[in-house]
Amino acid sequence: MSKRIASRVHGLFTAMITPFDAQGRVDLSAMEELVSFQISKGAEGLYPCGSTGLGPMLKEDERKRIAETVVRMAAGKVPVVIQVGCADTASTVELAKHAEKVGADAVASLTPYYYKPGEAATNRHFQTVSESVGIPLLAYNIPQFTGNVLSAASVSSLAKSGVISGIKDSSRDLLLLQDLLDAVPDDFVVMNGTEEYALYAIMSGADGLVSGGASALPELFKSLVAAQREGDHEAATAAQQKVLAVKDLVKQGPISSYYAILKERGVDCGAPRSPFLPLGTSENEKVIAGLKRMGLL
């Protein structure tokens, strides 16, 4: 299998929320506005239909329309990685082919979730998806949601055989992240998806951060990545401390909080799809007031 390098995947990628209208339908007009907002605030790449985007709760045709909208609105200004992972391989392949057709720079795939098919089956899943497209494929490791852990040895094998070009690691496991960084080739992209130790991950060699919080506060997460890139460790540390404070502030409902924060900022994306609930009035006021105290709004 020929090797594909995900050279455009680095820096801050926003794991985008999915806007919904009052009837719970995907709101593509609001998605257009959200893409423009992200680019204007310095996001270096976009990552729709992931966990923050409620990808597993979206129908296949909804995911395709989101992919089309994000790629069209990004218009080559920033790279787009479409998260195409499903519980089954055939649906993942279908979404990957569509993402390539509409112009995505790369695709990412969750490990098949809910069931635990085992390492050999999971590796075959990635091989099948990779063989179906000509653009880079990133594995998406989030075992606390999928129930499947991608070991450093599996990732290394898939990387060296050219099946995957990178990984988004949201394992919340620092030791696994370090093992991944030590095991993969130099041109393999490792994107960290755990905001709580984003600075450590980048200092250790990760190529960047895929952040759900950046949906609402892209400037904060961009400042962390940029400061570390520029060697300003003091500023990067201060940004990481603010990130931890934000994570603590929204801990009662992170995804719902991102919708509320965006609305406060003038980007109305509705509310997350059921069974998620929008923030209650008191919690909403607490989040907004806390961000204002931190100087983030």
Q: Assess if residue 110 is contained within a domain.
A: yes
Per the listing, tokens 């299998």 go with 1
Asked if 278 and 272 touch (Cβ cutoff 8 Å), the reply is yes
Residue 241 lies in a domain: no
pTM comes to 0.96
Per-residue pLDDT band at 220 (split at 50, 70, 90): very high
What span, in angstroms and rounded, lies between the C-alpha atoms of 168 and 209?
A: 9
Q: Does residue 1 fall inside a structural domain? A: no
Tokens of 294: 């931190």
pLDDT tens string 228-283 = 999 999 999 999 999 999 999 999 899 999 999 999 999 999 999 999 999 999 99
Number of domains comprising the chain: 1
> Do residues 164 and 190 make contact, with C-beta atoms less than 8 angstroms apart?
no
Classified as helix, coil or strand, 25 is coil
Angle between helices 233-249 and 281-293 (to 10 degrees): 160
Q: 159-203, pLDDT tens digit by residue?
A: 999 999 999 999 999 999 999 999 999 999 999 999 999 999 999
pLDDT surpassing 60 at residue 2: no
The single residue of 64, 168, 242, 263 carrying the catalytic annotation is: 168
| Structural domain range at position 169 | 11-231
Q: Are the beta carbons of 125 and 93 closer than 8 angstroms?
A: no
* Domain CATH number, residue 172: 3.20.20.70
pLDDT digits (tens, 9 = 90+) for 276-295: 999 999 999 999 999 999 99
Residue 265 placed within a domain? no
140 in catalytic set: yes
**258 catalytic per annotation:** no
What average pLDDT score do residues 96-102 get?
Answer: 98
Specify if 211 maps to a domain: yes
Residue 154 has pLDDT above 90, yes or no: yes
| Residue 254 lies inside a defined structural domain of this protein | no
Q: Whose CA is closest to 140, among 202, 69, 212?
A: 212
Residue 251 is assigned to a structural domain of this protein: no
- Is there a contact between 47 and 17 (Cβ–Cβ < 8 Å)? no
Catalytic residue (choose from 47, 114, 116, 140)? 140
Q: Which amino acid is at 248?
A: D
In whole angstroms, give the CA distance from residue 128 to residue 122.
10
Work out the end-to-end distance of the chain between its first and last CA atoms, rounded to an integer number of angstroms: 48
pLDDT in tens, 83-95: 999 999 999 999 9
Establish if 123 belongs to a structural domain: yes
Per-residue model confidence (pLDDT) at position 6: 82
Q: What is the DSSP string of 157-220?
A: HHHHTTS-SEEEE----HHHHHHHHHHS-TTSEEEE--GGGHHHHHHTT--EEEESGGGT-HHH
